[in-house]
A = this chain, B = another copy of it.
Amino acid sequence: MENFTDRLISVIRSKSSCVVVGLDPYFKLIPGTFKQKFSAFQRNALEYAARIILEFNREVIDLIAPLVGIIKPQIAFYELYGWWGIWAYAETIKYAKQKGLIVIGDVKRGDIPSTAEAYANAHIGKVHIDNFIEAPFFVDAITVNPFFGSDGLYPFIQVAKEHNKGIFILVKTSNSLSAEFQNLTFGDKKLYEIIAEKTNEWGKDLVGKNGYSAIGAVVGATFSNEITILRKIMPAAYFLVPGYGTQGASIDNLKYCFNPDGLGAIINASRSLLYAYNISPWKEKYDMEAWKEATREAVIRMNEDIRKIAGINLK
C-alpha cells in the first residue's frame, strides 16, 4: 500500500522538486495592493487580516503549484489572528488540497496521551460528533514535539497509521540555541541521537513501497556532522529540513540530508520565497507590485539549487 511518503515522492517526481513552500503569513509584508481590496472588513481587524491572508495564500498557491508540490503552513502565524486566523488556515488547506498539493501542518503539538489524541484527530484524523464524522483540518502530515516521551507520541503515530497520514518528529531544530537541551550528552549519546533512534524504531512498521516511513523527522540544516549522524540513525525517515533562506542554513549542509537515491529530504523556505520582492537579489530587480515575478523566480532558483544537491533521481 502507498503510504504518506509514497504520495510525497510521487509529487516530488512529478514536479521535479523537493522544495516545501512555507505559507507563513507576515501581514505587514503582504503587498499593499491586496489590502486595498479588503477595506470593507476593517470594522473587524482580525477578519480583515484573515481574509487578506487567505486571498494572498490562494494567489501564492496558484503561482507555485506548477513548480512545487508541497506547502507547509505554520499555524502560529494563523493563531495570531484568533479564530478568524484558524478559519484562514483551514480554508488555505482546502484550497491547496483542491490544487493537488501535499500539505504539512507545522503545528509542533505534543502533550499527554489523552490530549495528544485530541490534537492528532484534529489535525490528521477525524472527530465523531453524535452520528457525524468530521475531519477538521485533515492535512497530509504534521510536525510533533517529542518532549513528553513515547506515550505522548503514540496517539499521533496511531492516528497517522489509521488515516494513512505522516508525522515529522522534532529531532534537531534549526534555531541557534537548539543545542542547549538537544545536544546534552547522556552516556555517550546526545539527546537528539536518542530521539532519532526512537524515531527510527517508531517508524519501522510504517515503511512504504519506496522504503520510507510515514514517521519522519524535522532536522535543522545547521551542522553537517549532525545531519550525517542523523541520516545514518534514521535511514528510512523522511527529513523535513527548515532553515534554508532567511534562517541562513548553508546550502552545502543540505546535501547530507539526502540519501544516495536522491530522496529522503524535503527542504523548506518561507519568507525568502513569499516575500522575495523584499530580499536581495530580487528586490533590486522587482518592486512590490511585481511580487509574483520575484516569488516565481525565487522558487525556480531554489528548485534548481536543491536539484543539484539532491542528485540524479530528481532530474
Contact = CB atoms under 8 A, between A and B. Distances in A.
A27 interface: yes
A194 B270 CA distance: 33
A112 B46 contact: no
B147 A82 contact: no
Interface string A111-147: 1110110110111000111101010110000000111
22 contacts: A28-B128, A42-B130, A42-B132, A46-B129, A76-B115, A79-B119, A79-B122, A80-B119, A80-B127, A81-B136, A82-B90, A82-B122, A83-B84, A85-B136, A86-B86, A112-B242, A149-B180, A150-B177, A152-B173, A152-B175, A181-B195, A184-B191
A77 B115 contact: yes
Nearest to A243: B112
Interface residues of A, number: 71
Copies in the complex: 2
A236 to B, nearest CB: 22
B146 A145 contact: no
A259 interface: no
A89 interface: yes
Interface string A169-195: 010011111111110111000010011
